[in-house]
Structures are given as C-alpha cells and as structure tokens.
Amino acid sequence: MSEVAQLADVSPSTVSLYLRRPDEVSSRRAERIQTAIDRLGYLPNTMAGGLASSRSNIIGVIVPTITFSFFSETLETLEKNLRTAGYQLLIGNTEFDASREEELIRSILSWNPAGLVLTGFSHSRKSVSLLAKSDIPIIEMWDYGQEGLDMVVGFSHHTCGRLVAEHLVRHGYRHTAFLSTNFQRDIRARERYLGFRDAIADAGGSVVLRELTGRSNTAEAGDLLRHMVDDHPETQAVFCSNDMVALGAMFECRRQGWSIPERLAIVGFGNQDFTGSTIPPMTTVEPPGKRSANISRGCCSTDSREMTRQIRQRG
C-alpha cells in the first residue's frame, strides 16, 4: 500500500480509503491510485486488514433459496450497494432448513464479519444464542410485525394475504383455496395464508388449504389442484404461495380445460420473470425486492398496502 501511495503521490491513508470507500476519494486522486494499482499489480490482503481492524470487510447474507427471483434481486441490490461501500457478500442458502441456517451462521461468524443479514424471524435456539453473543450488526429482512434481534426491514406477510383476499372479494370471489409450499419449510407462506383466511372469513367466504410435501413443484401443485377441485367443485379462486406453485396450477387448468379466470382465478406471489409470459398472463403480487429503505435500530417497514396497491392482475 505504501508503494501504491508513493507512485500515486498520495498518502497511504488515502489509498486505504480508496480501497474501502472509493466514492469518498476525489476522481483525480482515484484515477492516480487505480493507475498505480494496475501498474504494480497490487492486491489488498483482506485477511490482514481484518486482523488489523479485528473485523473483516465481509457481510454475511443468508436466504432460504436463490431460485426465486425476488431473493436473487435482493442479493443483487445488496451486493451493488455494499460493494460501493467497500464490503463483500458471503452468501448462504438454507433451503428453508433451520439446522442448515445454524451451520451457516457458525461458518460466517468464524470469518469475523462486519455484519449479518438474515431472512425472517424464525431461527433455532442455538442460532439465536450464537447471534446474541456476537457484537455485530444484524438485520432480519423480508418480514415484519415482531421485535427482531437487532434491526428489521420488511413487510407484513399477514397483511399481504389479507390484501389479496380483499382483491378477490371485490371481484366477486367467495369460495377460495390456498395452495402452498409446506408450512414447516416456508413460515412466511403460512402468514400469508392466515391473513388470507381471516379476510375471506370476514367476507363470509370459505378457504380450502392444500400443502405441497416439500419445495415448489409444478407437477405436485397441479395434482393437488385437481384433487382439491374434485373435492370442492365450488372453488372459484386460488391464491398460491409463490409463482411456481401458481404456474403448476395454471398448467393443470390448461390440461383440464378450465378457463382462467372464468372457471378458476389464480393468484401467485413474487412476480417472477415468467409471469407476464404465461397464457393467460399470471396475476401475482410483486414484493419490494429492490426498494430502498432507511434502516435504523429497531424496525422499519415497507407498507404492505403500498406494495400491493397494484396487484398485477393479468389473468
């Protein structure tokens, strides 16, 4: 770093600042520093930097899946903004497994990270104990409505479910169903179901619940829908826990010759890339995967009504 500073005619502290927070260095000095780095082939030793500061430049992020676009968009936005601040992401994927999350928390904490981002409030007792003993900033995202470990940014899935129910009721649907991934794996889907169920009940309607055995599977979703309609032919609309489940339901409707929405209205969650290309285009809820928020100790939220003010009604 001293050699880079000498060649660029700046102080070593300016080089350090450029490597950590390049936006805080003037463009003229930044250009000289980068030229010196390229000429010398300099690579910063992040491990040594972490030892010197007792904290690495790593931010751990743990998500339940990287398959769904709303989580991948969240990771992309985090990476973009943290990179400009001199941090690097260390990503963990739990596959909705609490024991896997515990393993990932142990692994990430061993890197002495500068912070940790978790998904939701549900953690094992050991995970909570590990996090309580750490002295790093912790953010729980994609959920809202209870006190978190440190900081929380998200929205109410219960409110989201109610809003979808209110949307369907306004369009004349009363006999409904909720087709979902397994609640033991996807706790947030359960919250959407509870909000949906309560609002439909308030409107004098009914809700039939069907859960998949595991992760989102279009074939199993189609089978569940077919059997559910056989048992409850009065069903008019189906709210699905995510767009992949809704896609399976739409495939089954096509196989059975059931028109959408005349025979069955289908609503997904997530607004994944394919939802505008299905036949008919899928009605879905778009969660705020890229929306900015000012985060402080305690909680902040994205207004769920704002999020769903335009449920993307297509089918």
| Pair (162, 149) in one structural domain | no
What is the C-alpha separation between 229 and 232, in angstroms, rounded?
5
- Tokens 């339940």 map to which residue? 64
Instruction: Give me the domain span that covers residue 30.
Output: 2-44
pLDDT tens string 242-255: 999 999 999 999 99
Token pair belonging to 29: 């000095």
Q: Are 294 and 154 in contact (CB under 8 A)?
A: no
Please tell me the predicted confidence (pLDDT) of residue 148: 87
User: Same domain for 283 and 224?
Assistant: yes
> Does 205 lie in the same domain as 100?
no
Q: Domain count of the chain?
A: 3
Evaluate whether 262 touches 315 at the Cβ level (below 8 Å).
no
Same domain, 67 and 15: no
Question: 270 and 164 in one domain?
Answer: yes
Q: Is the pLDDT of residue 198 over 90?
A: yes
Give the pair of three-digit tokens for residue 124: 């094992």
Residues 259 and 165 in one domain: yes
281 and 161 share a domain? yes
**Are 181 and 118 in a shared domain?**
no
CA distance 168 to 165: 5
Span 41-54, average pLDDT: 62
Residue 60 CA to residue 315 CA, distance in Å, equals 39
CA distances from 81 to 86, 179, 292 (A): 9, 36, 10
Confidence of residue 95 (pLDDT cuts 50, 70, 90): confident
Average pLDDT over residues 6-30: 88
Burial of 174 (0-12, 13-18, 19+ CB in 10 A): middle
In this structure, are 134 and 255 located in the same domain? Answer: no
Give the residue from 130, 154, 178 where a domain finishes.
Answer: 154
pLDDT of residue 295: 39
Cα gap 226→253, rounded to integer Å: 8
CA distances from 166 to 117, 174, 247, 311 (A): 32, 10, 22, 11
Q: How confident is the model at residue 46 (pLDDT cuts 50, 70, 90)?
A: low
pLDDT value, residue 312: 58
Mean pLDDT across 51-63:
78
Confidence at residue 314, expressed as pLDDT on a 0 to 100 scale: 53
- The proportion of the chain whose per-residue pLDDT surpasses 90, expressed as a percent, equals 58
Q: 7-11, 100-104, 289-293: which range is least confident on average?
A: 289-293
Strands 283-285 and 265-269: parallel
| CA 8/CA 11 separation, integer angstroms | 9
Burial grade of 96 (CB within 10 A; 0-12, 13-18, 19 or more): buried
Tell me what pLDDT residue 52 has.
52
- Pair 259, 169 in one domain: yes
Is 260 inside any structural domain?
yes
For the segment 208-222, the average pLDDT, to the nearest whole number, is: 90
| Together in a domain, 142 and 172 | no
For residue 165, the domain's CATH number is 3.40.50.2300
pLDDT (tens digit, 9 = 90+) per residue, 96-127? 888 999 999 999 998 889 999 999 998 999 89
73 found inside a domain:
yes
Split at pLDDT 50, 70, 90, the class of 6 is: very high
pLDDT over threshold 60, residue 308: no
